[in-house]
Structure 1
Amino acid sequence: MASQDQEETVSHLRPELVDFHGVSMDHFFTDNWDNVQNFQAKPDDILIATYPKAGTTWVSHMLDLLYFGKSSPKRGVSLPIFERVPFLEICISPPTGVELADKMTTSPRLIKTHLPVQLVPKSFWEQKCRIVYVARNAKDNVVSYFHFDCMDSMQPEPGDWPSYLQKFQEGKLVFGSWYDHVKGWWEKKQTYPKLLYLHYEDLAEDMERELDHVCSFLGVCPSEEERQQVKEGVQFDAMKKNRMANYSTMDGMDFKISPFMRKGKVGDWKNHFTVYQNEEFDKEYQNKMMNTTLQFRTEV
C-alpha cells in the first residue's frame, strides 16, 4: 500500500498528453466524456468557445456583465468566473463543469468550452444555440499558453520555450492544433449563422466597436450606463485586480511563476521569439494557413 506521502506526490504529478479522437488532450478533459457529449443544451444557452488563452475569460466576463451586471451588480465581484461561466468539459474535482452548468438557474446560461468544433456536444447545434468564438493570433497565443502551462500544475509539463514552440506547431498541446481549431470554427461560421467569430486583436484595438458587434449579435440593448459598466469591468487592469475574474481563488495555479492574467497585449510575442524562430514559424504558418480565408494580425 502506498504511503500518504507517496499518494500526495502522485496526485501532484502533471497529467500526460494523450491522443483523444485525433486531438491532443489530458485526462482532466476526457474523464467525464460521456456526460460532456450527452450534455443537454437549452435554446437560450450561449456557448463561449476558444482555443486556450485566446481571450476566453475576457469575453466570458463581458457577457456576464452584459446580461447580469444590472440585475446582480455584486455578482462580478462575489462569484468566481468559473462558477458564473462553467467550463463544460473540465473534470478536476466535483462539481464537474457539466454539473455546474446543469445546476445553473440563470437565463441565459453562459457556458465555456475549449473543444474543437467537431467535439462540441451535438445538443448545442440541435438547439441552435448562439456561439461566440474568440480567436487570437498564433504567436501571442502560444506565448500566453506557454506562461499558463508553466504556472498551472493541472497542465502537462511544458518544457522550455523552444521545445514548447515546436509542440505548438505540431498540435501537441492540450486541445490540439491551434491551426485546426481556429480554421474548424471559421469553416463552421460559414454554414452556422448563430456563430459570432471575434478576434482578440479587434477587442484590444477598439472595445467599443466590438461591444456593438456582440450586442447586435446577442440582440441585447444595454443603456449607456450599462455599456459603461461593461467597458470599465472588462479593462485588463480591472480584471487583473478582480479576484473573481483573475483565477487567484483556483487551486493548482502558481502565481509566483506567472499571473493567470499576464499582459493582455497584442505583440508581446516579439519579446519571446528569436529572429530564427520567427522565420521558421512564419514558413510553417504560411503552409498551414494556405487554404483558408481566415486572417490574423500580429500587431495593432
Structure 2
Amino acid sequence: MTHFFTDNWEKVQNFQARPDDILIATYPKAGTTWVSYILDLLYFGNAEPERQTSIPIFIRVPFLESIFPGFPTGLDLADNSPTRPRLIKTHLPVQLIPKSFWEQNCKVVYVARNAKDNAVSYYHFERMNKGQPEPGDWNNFLQNFMDGKKVFGPWYDHVCGYWEKKKTYSNIHYMFFEDMVEDTGREVERLCSFLGLSTPIEERKRITECTHFEKMKQNNMTNYSSVSVMDFKISPFMRKGKVGDWKNHFTVAQNEHFDEHYKQKMKTTTLQFRTEI
C-alpha cells in the first residue's frame, strides 16, 4: 500500500456507514468509474442534472481510503456528501472494509475483471499516475502482479474474497466487466433489480448511452483529466475499455507462465472469468 491510502487508516476503519449507503468495490482498473457513473445517473441523473456537468465523478463518488495532498480526503467527501444514498467507492480487499458497512447491511456492488486485461490496464495506469509506484517494464510489472506485490494486494485474493463473502452476505451484487462490455443495458437492468429501482426502460437506455466508454472518455467530468497526479501525455486514464487487449501485450511465454500460475491460484474457487467475448 502507498501512504495515499494508509495515512488515514484508523479513521477509515472507524468510518460510520449508513444503512442506505452503497459501496462500489473493485480491484483497481476493473470498471470502477464506469459503475460509479451508472449508479450516479440512476439515482441523481434526473433529480440533479447540474451535478453531471459541474462536479467530477471523484467528488460525486468519494474514494473512501484516499488522502491526496491538496484535495479533500475520501472520508471528508463521504461525511459531507449531500446525497442520499451516498455512493462511496473503495479498492480495499473484503477483509479491510470498515466493519460498519457490514453492520448496517449496506448494499455492495462489486465489479471484477479478468486478470489478464486487469493487469494490462493497471500497468498503463501506473505508468501515468504519479500517485502509484513506478511499474518498471511490462515483464517486471506482470511478475509483480502475479506475486501480489501491487497496491491493494493480490488480484486473486481480491476477486475471490468478495466472491466468498457473497455466500454469507446477501447484499453483494457481483458484476463482471466482460458482461458489461457485452451488454451494458442488461447489466444496468440487473443493477436496478438488485437496488430495488423501478427505472423506466427509456431512462435505462439513456443511461446506457451516456456511459458508453468513448463518451465517458470525452467527458471531463468522468475522464479524470483534471487530476494533476495523472500524466495524460503518457496514457489516458480511460484507455481502451476493451476485453482481450491482453493479447497485444502478453508474449506466448508470458501467457503460458501466467496460465499455469493462475490455475494454481484459482483452483479452490468456483469463480470463473472470460478473457474474450
Residue type of the partner of 1:237?
E
Encode CA deviations 1:236-276: one digit per residue, 9 max, x unaligned.
01100000000001111000100000000000000000000
Selected match of 1:217 from 194, 205, 218: 194
Count of matched residue pairs = 276
Corresponding residue for residue 52 of structure 2? 76
Residue in structure 2 matching 1:273, options 232, 246, 250? 250
- Checking the alignment, whether the CA contact within 8 Å between 1:28 and 1:92 is kept in structure 2 is yes
Q: CA offsets per residue over residues 17-51 of structure 1, 9 Å max, x none?
A: xxxxxxxx111100000110010000000000000
Identity among equivalent positions (%) equals 67
Deviation at residue 219 of structure 1 after TM alignment: 0.4
The equivalent of 2:39 in structure 1 is 63
Aligned residue number for residue 94 of structure 2: 117
Paired residue for 1:153, among 130, 144, 148? Answer: 130
TM-score calculated relative to the size of structure 2 = 0.99
| 1:27 correspondence with 2:3 | yes
Q: Which ranges of 4 or more aligned residues in structure 1 deviate by more than 2 Å?
A: none
Task: State how far apart, in whole Å, the 2-side matches of 1:260 and 1:296 are.
Answer: 24
Equivalence for 2:27: 51
* Matches for 1:96-245 after TM superposition, within 5 Å: 96-245=73-222
Q: Is the 8 A contact 1:69 1:226 kept in 2?
A: no
The amino acid of 1:79's aligned partner reads: I
**Secondary structure in 2 matching 1:197:** strand
- Mapped to 2, the partners of 1:294 and 1:179 lie a distance apart of 10
Q: Give 1 or 2 for the bigger CA radius of gyration.
A: 1
Structure 2 gaps, min length 5: none
What TM-score results when the alignment is normalised by the length of structure 1?
0.91
- Paired residues of 2:123 and 2:141 also in contact (CA < 8 A): yes
Listed one character per residue, the Cα deviations across residues 47-81 of structure 1 (whole Å, up to 9, x for unaligned) are: 00000000000000000000000101232221100
The aligned runs of 1:3-42 (5 Å cut-off) are 25-42=1-18
Cα shift readout 1:87-136 (whole Å, capped 9, x = no counterpart): 00001124100010000110000000000000000000000000000000
- CA deviation map 1:186-208 (0-9, x unaligned): 00011100000000000000111
Moved more, 243-252 or 222-231: 222-231
* Mapped partners of 1:289, 1:274: distance in 2: 22
Question: Hey, what's the Cα distance between the residues in 1 that align with 2:195 and 2:145?
Answer: 33
CA RMSD of aligned residues (A): 0.7
The amino acid of 1:193's aligned partner reads S
Query: Which residue in 2 is equivalent to 1:3?
Result: none
Q: Measure, in 1, the Cα distance between the counterparts of 2:251 and 2:107.
A: 40
Contact 1:70 1:226 in 2 (8 A): no
Rounded Cα–Cα distance in structure 2 between residues aligned with 1:86 and 1:224: 28
Alpha-carbon distance in structure 1 between the residues aligned to 2:209 and 2:52:
12
Spell out, residue by residue over 1:134-166, the C-alpha distance to the aligned partner (whole angstroms, 9 max, x if none).
Answer: 000000000000000000001011100000000
